[in-house]
Structure 1
Amino acid sequence: MANRKGNRRERELVNRLDEAGFAVMRAPASGGATQRELPDVLAGNGEAFYAIEAKSSSGKPIYLTGEEVEALVYFSRNFGARPKIGVRFDREDWYFFHPGDVYRTDGGNYRVKKEVALAEGETIEDLLDRAETGGADVERVLTAVEQGTLSAEEAAGMFD
């Protein structure tokens, strides 16, 4: 049942991004159907490209494994996309985070609480605005380096 709900939420995200003007595709092979770790959604509008790992919850905190986030960052870097963790809580909209902005647990996993998503998450409109202004967000990249999510070399490559 949870998998069906997750699939429905991913399709919903694809439709929302499409309505916002992004070219978008869902990678239904993500989550174990292939040996390669793929993001759930790829979206771009000619100015910005996003690789999104999508998660949803009724209201409980959303957890991602360290491996999921590392795979997202790795794929994004190689693909030329900006990594985003997309979260949706019941009766709320989608919110997005750079992996370096997500709370990292002592065990090396990542957690997003509903109140944090509502207060600090980026909206689809924010993704559009960022696409229009172009360039990597320096502060977020530096935070990711500081937290160990990105190496200094990976961060430098984002500014080329």
Structure 2
Amino acid sequence: MADRYSDPDMGSWNAKITAEFRAGHGKVGGVFADVPLLLLTTVGARSGREFTTPLGYLPDGDRRIIFATNGGQARNPAWYHNLLAQPQVRIEVGTGTQIEEYVCTATVLTGAERDAFWNEQESRAPVFAEYKSKTDRLIPVIALA
């Protein structure tokens, strides 16, 4: 199965969303128009190269909660493996008038805390239930702080 690093269409799609995000100071159209969006930059676990991925998130005080859905594929997305290897990541969050950049530490959530955020995201964005139904893996939930 292709991931965003080996699938030229997904890489191109992510690049377009990233460019639109930066040009619009965090505002984008299409499927992400009404979704809180951030840009996550990880360092490749094998390559050492930086990769930037647009992701929807849930705000939680000073934290931002992200979900390694990979569209419901059988394996976790490459960015998840990268942040496991190097939990210090960079994020960009738009305010509508500017982009704020933060260095964060990624922490994989477990148990009741993980489940509560997953359930909240599923209620806000029903497509997450579809992602869950497509895979047997427990989709990781990650806090960025």
- Relative contact order (C-alpha < 8 Å, sep 6+): which is higher? 2
More helix by share: 1
- TM-score scaled by length of structure 2: 0.32
More strand by share: 2
